[in-house]
Amino acid sequence: MRPTLSWNPVGDPLPATTDLSPAAELLDAGGVLVLSGAGLSTESGIPDYRGEGGSLSRHTPMTYQDLVTGARARRRYWARSHLGWRTFGRARPNAGHLAVAAFERHGLLAGVVTQNVDGLHQAAGSAGVVELHGGLDRVVCLGCGRRTPRTELAARLAAANPDFAPVAAGINPDGDADLTDEQVGGFRVVDCAACGGLLKPDVVFFGENVPAQRVERCRALVREARSVLVLGSSLTVMSGLRFVRQAAEAGTPVVLVNLAPTRGDRYARARVALPLGRALTELADRLDVPVASPRAD
C-alpha cells in the first residue's frame, strides 16, 4: 500500500477563522478528546507530511511489505532511521504539547489520541496517551515479538557501523533521515538479539493496519467525549479521519486547529487557522490554565 498523498475536497470549503472562541468553548465545557497530528510537532523541529514544505514532497515512507521482503530496502531504511534517530530522539516538547498537558492536568480533557510517533505528548507530561501509530522509542522483533528500547538498538547499530557519519539533507516525521544510496553504502543491519528475527520500529507502517484493540479504544474515547479537538492534522488518512466521522455522526462537536484545509473540514464546526503553539498558549491564557515553559535544551 503506497502512502495516501492527497485528497480531493468535497462540497463548499469550511471558512477558516483566527478566532479561538470555538476551541475555547469546547475546552471550557470539559470532556474534550484531543486528536493530534504531525503539525503539532513542527515547532519541535520535526517536519510534517503535507504542510508547506512537508516531507511527502521529497520522501515516500517505507512500507511494511518493502521492509520485510527486501534486504536492500531494509538496509536503506535502517541506515536512514539510525541517523534520523540521533536528531529525532533529542526533540523536546514545544508550547503546544505543554498546553495540552496543562489542559489535561486542569481536568478539561477526556483523553489524547496522537497520530505522531515522537513521544512528545508524554515528554510534556500528558498521561494515558493513545499512540495510534505506535512509538519510535521502541523496537519490535517480527519473529518472537520481543520489544526493546530504541536506545538499545541504536547502540548495537553504532557498534556495527562505527564509521557511519553521513550528513543528512533533512529529517522526516517518521524519524527517517534523507540520505542518498551512496551515503547508505554498506550499512550493516542487526537482527533480534534473542532470536535473530527481523526488527522494525514499534510503529504502524503504511501497508499495516492499526491494531483492532487500539482502534476500539479510540472509538470508546470518542463515544465518551463531549467534543473532539483536532490539532495539526490534515486527516488525509483514514486512521484518524474515522474518529472525526464517528464524532460527527453522533452529533459530537468537532473543532480543528490547522493552518491548511483538512479532509475533516466537512465534519467540523470550525477550523482555526493559527500556528499551534500560539493558539494553544492563547487558549490556556484565556482559560486561566498555567502552562510550563519549554525547556531550553
- End position of a domain, from candidates 166, 185, 203: 203
- Is 133 labeled as catalytic in the residue annotation? yes
- Quote the number of domains for the chain: 2
Confirm whether residue 46 is marked as ligand binding.
Answer: yes
Whether residue 295 is contained in a domain is answered as yes
Together in a domain, 179 and 280 = no
pTM of the model: 0.90
Confirm whether residue 209 is marked as ligand binding.
Answer: no
Instruction: Write out the residue range of the structural domain in which residue 294 sits.
Output: 14-46+93-133+210-297
Instruction: Decide: residue 170, CB within 10 A, 0-12 exposed, 13-18 middle, 19+ buried.
Output: middle
Instruction: State residue 249 phi and psi, 5-degree precision.
Output: -65, -30
Query: Which of 59, 82, 97, 133 is flagged as catalytic?
Result: 133
The position carrying cell 562505527 is: 162
Together in a domain, 168 and 270 = no
Confirm whether residue 269 is marked as ligand binding.
Answer: no
Rounded CA-CA distance 126/102 in Å is: 8
Together in a domain, 197 and 281 = no
Whether residue 188 is contained in a domain is answered as yes
Per-residue pLDDT of the chain (297 residues; tens, 9 = 90+): 444 555 566 667 789 999 999 999 999 999 999 999 999 999 998 887 545 544 444 456 788 998 998 899 999 999 999 998 987 888 999 999 999 999 999 999 999 999 999 999 999 999 989 999 999 999 999 999 999 999 999 999 999 999 998 887 777 777 788 888 899 988 999 999 999 999 999 999 988 999 999 999 999 999 999 999 999 999 998 999 999 999 999 999 999 999 999 999 999 999 999 999 999 999 999 999 999 988 765
Together in a domain, 144 and 63 = yes
